[in-house]
Amino acid sequence: MTGGIPQHSGTEIIVALDVNDRKDLEKWGVMLQAKVNWVKVGMELFYAQGPAVIDFLKEKGFKVFLDLKLHDIPNTVEKAAQVLAKMGVDIFNLHTLGGTDMMKRTALTIKCARARVKIIGVTVLTSHSDRVLKDELSISTGMEAEVLHLASLAKDSGLDGVVCSPREVRKIKESCGRSFLTVVPGVRPVWADRGDQVRILTPGKAVGEGADYLVIGRPILQAPDPLKAIDLIREEMEDSAPGL
């Protein structure tokens, strides 16, 4: 991995490798090497290929965000986190709805092990709307208030940042500090279909809000020319106007 891969004001693209076939993994591993520093391994790929996928990507020089959204009793998540840290991933996440005891114990065990890995907390999925929050999850505080509440719990528990929609980044930075990481899915270039994402912004507006990492999958993987798609996304990142 070369050090010349462009980035905008510290904001980096994480390509979501939402595939499950080994040949697809190897194809993308070769194709993306000269274009991005980071890739995301989610449930589909990890469950299909197992821990070996991490070894493969690290050998290719990528930094890896392992997106398994750990959510269980504190002891189970703490032990699982120790295993993940030994794999050499650079970021992994857990659900903030697992509670402060779960988050604190996990953060402390990683800190004590001196593992060089960042832990971030999932707040509210970017596929959720205000209606889902209120009518299905019975959370009546409102989207922004709920996300800020969960981000504050994550910060107080010793986590390094959160996963949130680009629309909540600015408020989280104001509340939790600029160094508190925001890893942002729900980013859609102007030319891409929104899919099942609800709370979205363009790459430029997400950067303008202060996002540290933009997690982008389908607009790249499903593009006729994926490398050109990355270039177009970076062009949009240069237009970093604040979001709505």
Q: What is the pLDDT of residue 239?
A: 76
102 token code pair: 């779960």
CA 103 to chain centre: 17
Say if residue 8 is exposed, middle or buried (CB neighbours under 10 Å; 0-12, 13-18, 19+): middle
Q: What is the pLDDT of residue 244?
A: 52
Does the residue 130 lie in any domain? yes
Q: What is the pLDDT of residue 4?
A: 45
Does the residue 239 lie in any domain? no
**69 catalytic per annotation:** yes
Exposure string (b/e) for 9-41, b if CB count within 10 Å is 16 or more?
eebbbbbbbbbbeeeebeebbeebeebbbbbbb
- How many distinct structural domains can be found in the chain? 1
Does the residue 40 lie in any domain? yes
Q: At what angle do helices 100-112 and 74-86 cross, to 10 degrees?
A: 30
Does the residue 7 lie in any domain? no
Q: What is the CATH number of the domain that holds 109?
A: 3.20.20.70
Task: Quote the pTM value.
Answer: 0.90
Does the residue 172 lie in any domain? yes
For the stretch 86-121, pLDDT in tens is: 999 999 999 999 999 999 999 999 999 888 999 999
Annotated catalytic residue, options 35, 69, 104, 134: 69
Does the residue 202 lie in any domain? yes
173 token code pair: 């930075």
Alpha helices in 89-189 (DSSP H): 100-112, 130-131, 143-156, 169-176
CA–CA separation, 84 and 159 (whole Å): 16
The domain of 53 spans 12-229
pLDDT tens by residue, the chain, 244 residues: 444 444 445 899 999 999 999 999 999 999 999 999 999 999 999 999 999 999 999 999 999 999 999 999 999 999 999 999 999 999 999 999 999 999 999 999 999 988 899 999 999 887 888 888 889 988 888 888 999 999 999 999 999 999 999 999 999 999 999 999 999 998 988 766 655 556 678 999 999 999 999 999 999 999 999 999 999 999 999 877 565 5
Does the residue 150 lie in any domain? yes
35 token code pair: 């274009």
Does the residue 75 lie in any domain? yes
